[in-house]
Amino acid sequence: MAEIESGEAQPNAEPQDQVEPQTQQEIKKTSKKKSDTFRMADESAAECLFDRLRQHQQRAPDATEVARAITARINSRLTSHDKHIRQTSLEKLWNKHSGALQMLVSILETSRDSATCTYITSILRETLCLKPGKGKRLSANNLMRQQCAEDFIAMKGTQAIVRKLLGILHDKRERHASSELLQQDLLWILAPLGSRDPKFAMKVRMLGCVRTMHLILKGHFTDNKIIFPLLVIMKQLAKNSVTTSVLIRDGVISTYERIMVSLGFIPTARLRLCLDAIDYFSKNKVCCMQIVKTGLSTVLLRVFDRWDRYEGRMRLKICAHILQTLQHLCNIKAGRRALCTKKHVQTLHRFCSHCPDEPEFDGLLARVCSVITLCLKHQALPVAAASPAMFNLNPILKGTNTLWPCQDEEDNVNSDSKTVNSDADDDGPEPDLDSIEEFPDFDLDESETKSETIPEDTEKVISKSGDSIQSAIWINPNERDIEDLKKYFIFFKEFGSYNKQVRLVKSRSNSRGSILEDFLISQANIKNMTSSLNLSLSTVLGANECDNLFGTSSSYQYYKVHESASSTSCSSLKIHKDISKYSPFSSVYCTISSKVKSVIPFVKVAYPDMTGGQSQNIPEPLNQMERTACRNKLLSCVDRAINPEAYMYEVIYDLDQLCSGSSDPNTPKSLSCESFYLCNNDEQEVAKMNTFSTRLSFESRFESGNLRKAIQVGPREYELILMPDVNSNKRHQWFYFEVRNMQQGRPYIFNIVNCEKSDSQFNFGMKPVMYSVKEAISGRQGWVRAGTDICYYRNSYHYAHQRNLNKCYLTVTFNIEFPHNNDVCYLAYHFPYTYSMMMARIWHWSLQMPAGAYLRAETLCYSLNNNEIPLVTISADDTPSNPIVEREIIFLTSRVHPGESNASWVMDGTLGYLLGDTPAAAALRAKYVFKIVPMLNVEGVINGCHRCGLTNEDLNRRWCKPSPVLHPSIYHTKGLIEYLVRVWKKPPLVYCDYHGHSRKKNVFFYGCAGAESWCSNDRMVQDEPVKYLMLPALMHRISAAFALGSCSFRVEKERESTARVTVWRHLRVTRSYTMEASFCGFDKGPFKGFHLNTQHLQNVGGDFCEALTSLNDAATNVDIQITKDLNGNIVEISINDQGENSEIGVDSEPGSAPDSVLKTDSDEDFD
């Protein structure tokens, strides 16, 4: 045979090769039959063996010899050299229905015979432990082992193995070779179970085996037979915070220090497992202290210093685990001190200098730079701790029992605890403020008023536990007094005279009297009314109106006259007073902007806003990140932190200094601009400028502007520092400023160095926007996306406030090549939409009303700085065939977060559609009455804030119980909706709050579904998905920008004080939504891969109106079924309409989830 198989004997094999094909086929058939016969016999033998095991288990467990013989036979089959025998036995064990594993575990737990237990553990090890190698058969077997491990866990096998291990260690009578072998097999079995069992650490802890595992590790860390499974088990225990604490108290860090020394620097799987476990342990600050004390941090840096000697994925994993541990060490002062030695910094900087230019090393480089910036000496921002944007609230609060400042809410801009579909920026609602509930009285002569306040009873503080929160939600929905709500009828003039409203409410409520009637009678004899608040509804009315309203019968005559003219447009906004209807838009804008009151005095009007602020309607692709450029900028940032003396630091623009020179710091920085007319001379200045300057000049003192300081650090490189929100030292994101004195064709680098969000769409395709005055003059007017080499990374500037002392700011950096010399350009985070632009647009629409339309713009209330907050009412004229009182009401709000200018552009599209001269718009006006508050946070918008207004509070966390003093826009907007619900007895059909989203792309909805609520009471109520799913489904059909797969209808505990949830829960409006529009662009649909522009946003507003047109008709006799994927994203909506079936499929490509990958802190963002 040897000769036949050798190469030399091939000629002797020729006669065999000439055998006829038919004979060869017969030989193959015979061989196959023998193989099948052998396999059948082997299967029968295996079946017989497992039957004997089953019969033994059913008998009394005293037949030790029988159990030993059966298990020995099974073990011999698993270790046989014949692969068919091994495979047959394994398949029997893997078969869940055979019950073989359960029988073996049962015998293992009850048997006292060491030989039997050893055989069983050997069988389980062969059955459950993965085998190294390649090949189809091996891969298939390993998949079966993984599935078998999950079945083994389900039958409580993990607990059985842990108990057996404890039994062996505690049994001092059996200390021989078989017990050591048994312990070895048990540890090898636990290793794969720990990786597959999500509750492994809890089970080990409940059985009291955590310290036992550490004891075994301390005694056997040099034992090559069991060190690997021990390290796997310890890694799983390190993932659990409770078991981590137990192990740290037991001295596990000292043990790992000795293991690291014994392993040396050889890149093995054991070293990787050690580093992985240390990474998990180091999330505990006590552990970080022990790592420093034991010198383990030095050992880690020695291993890291040899990174270039490692290869492949092992090098990446080892470096990643060490760097993550070093980042955790930087969270404590001792850790930073230990890493801040010259030798250690040089080790880290050496990696930066020699890091390979490959994509897989980019993450490591970012981590090394982060460690260097964290462990260096704290570098504060070169600005004063106190912002110049401070507003004195004491005069407003004087005479009231309202408290400010309240406990500062913790922003989630630096927390990663949010889910993907999370729709808020803050961790949760702040405690509600105690405030007066007395509604401001009507009196015009402020000099004669006397302060009268009725303090509200102090409410009991409700615990935030689950049960008490649920009770508070259902028992105490923070309803206002009916006597207070009555007064909102002055905003519903379209429903007729007072007498008519009384009759309508009376007939709808089917009661003897009306609360409106009672109110009018009670007010008839009141002549002089006083108020302590200047933010009331009384400021809406002029002197004559107040006399007519609260006099005798003349009040009815005035409103009857006004009602008869309802078919014409009416704007009672004071800011529109004395504006000629023939004035151009730019003149109107400047006039309005000059009347706006700001915290920091304005010096000009921004040219883009004065000319309409639209973007150029051209497709603009998303930015493709340049790795090399971003890497170079990151290294440059680190180099500036290490060698600051090598760079020039020259202050070019300092808003703090400009403000200190223009006002007295002891007085409130609130300026009335009525005596100073603001204008813009950019066109004239562009024509005059012909000189070249070595530095740019900046300006941000205009409406919605935000830039605090500009520092030149290189010939064409500038560090920019943004303003925080008013009365705050944080929330930096929105920017809007002017640049001039540039040179054409030369790249200027802008580094905005005090961003706070852990990640940004700037890392995923978003570009800032730029407006060129010279381009506009030449006919190419509009904002464009601009910038190259855009990236977002952590820098070396540390937070100034004590609570975030160990955190660093982040930088967004981009290069700009300006299109012209000596141009005037504006750069912004997103397309600006100012308060003055909104007011100018309302004025413009009021002059161009289509026939039969009804428009009324009035002042809902005044902001804290005495700026008007408008309320817009839109419908069609009242007719006998279509009475206005019978129409459904749609309530819309926008811009509660001032940095979300895209929300205002969507609202602009909605208002433009509703007031358009088209048949569709006329039909929509005839169908509904629209109540719209287009800008809730006017102070934040005016003063260039990102999240808050003048009170340093997120107004979208104040809807549960707003203060009439501190949150007038929220207080009165909620009052309008509550009036409709509780007094007018006709809740809005739809409530929608427009927002912007900084983490996701496309446009989408957040809604409210009881079935997806955190509150168990909500889940018990029968849900009607057709009510809240129909509008998103219609939007998906109509709007190309809408992404149904990104919608979410979860009601989360921390969102209870948002507008969406408050209106849904407390005011019972089923269709309560937040509509989110991305700052960036699209990752699905026809616009995939392109930026959003203002036309897209305005079209979304119009598409929303079209969806409303079909809402009522589509919502009858409709059954909706929703299909979601494993991540909870909507995949498909099936609509059954009176027997007709239609499906709305959702693009399931990746991208609906947030792009964020730099999970270092967190993001917002959303309601």
Active-site amino acid positions: 1076
Per DSSP, which regions of 909-963 are E strands?
A: 928-933
Whole-number Å distance between alpha carbons of 213 and 235: 11
Whole-number Å distance between alpha carbons of 605 and 679: 5
The alpha carbon of residue 567 and the mean position of all alpha carbons in its chain are separated, in whole angstroms, by 45
DSSP for 170-221, please give it.
H-TT--SHHHHHHHHHHHHHHHHHHHH-TTHHHHHHHTT-HHHHHHHHHHHT
Peptide bond into 1165 cis (omega under 30): yes
Whole-number Å distance between alpha carbons of 931 and 891: 5
- The candidate with the shortest Cα–Cα distance to 680, out of 653, 702, 696, is 702
Q: Count CA atoms closer than 13 A to 1's CA, side-chain side.
A: 0
Please answer whether residues 241 and 281 qualify as being in contact, where contact means their C-beta atoms are separated by less than 8 angstroms: no
Where do runs of H (alpha helix) occur along 493-626?
498-509, 515-523, 543-550, 554-564, 585-595, 607-610
Beginning with the edge strand found earlier in the chain, give each strand of the sheet holding 784-785 in spatial order.
Answer: 697-699, 736-740, 824-828, 769-772, 784-785
Q: Give percent helix, percent strand, percent coil of the chain, each to the nearest 5.
A: 50, 15, 40
- The candidate with the shortest Cα–Cα distance to 1042, out of 1012, 1002, 982, is 1002
Per DSSP, which regions of 29-92 are E strands?
A: none
Whole-number Å distance between alpha carbons of 541 and 440: 13
Whole-number Å distance between alpha carbons of 752 and 767: 14
- Angle CA(93)–CA(98)–CA(101) in degrees, nearest 5? 45
Please answer whether residues 863 and 941 qualify as being in contact, where contact means their C-beta atoms are separated by less than 8 angstroms: no
3-state secondary structure 87-104: HHHHHHHHCHHHCHHHHH
Whole-number Å distance between alpha carbons of 516 and 485: 10
Amino acid at 1144: I
Please answer whether residues 810 and 918 qualify as being in contact, where contact means their C-beta atoms are separated by less than 8 angstroms: no
DSSP 302: H
**What is the length of the chain?**
1167
Beginning with the edge strand found earlier in the chain, give each strand of the sheet holding 1003-1006 in spatial order.
Answer: 570-571, 853-862, 868-876, 928-933, 888-894, 990-997, 1072-1078, 1003-1006
Please answer whether residues 676 and 602 qualify as being in contact, where contact means their C-beta atoms are separated by less than 8 angstroms: no
Scan for tokens 């842990």, then name that residue: 162
Whole-number Å distance between alpha carbons of 696 and 712: 9
Please answer whether residues 153 and 236 qualify as being in contact, where contact means their C-beta atoms are separated by less than 8 angstroms: no
Please answer whether residues 906 and 1097 qualify as being in contact, where contact means their C-beta atoms are separated by less than 8 angstroms: yes
CB crowding 742-772: b at 16 or more within 10 Å, else e = bbeeeebbbbbbbbbbbbbbbbbbbbbbbbb
Scan for tokens 């009165």, then name that residue: 972
Helix (H, G, I), strand (E, B) or coil at 1123: strand
- The candidate with the shortest Cα–Cα distance to 530, out of 437, 447, 443, 444, is 443
Whole-number Å distance between alpha carbons of 77 and 42: 10
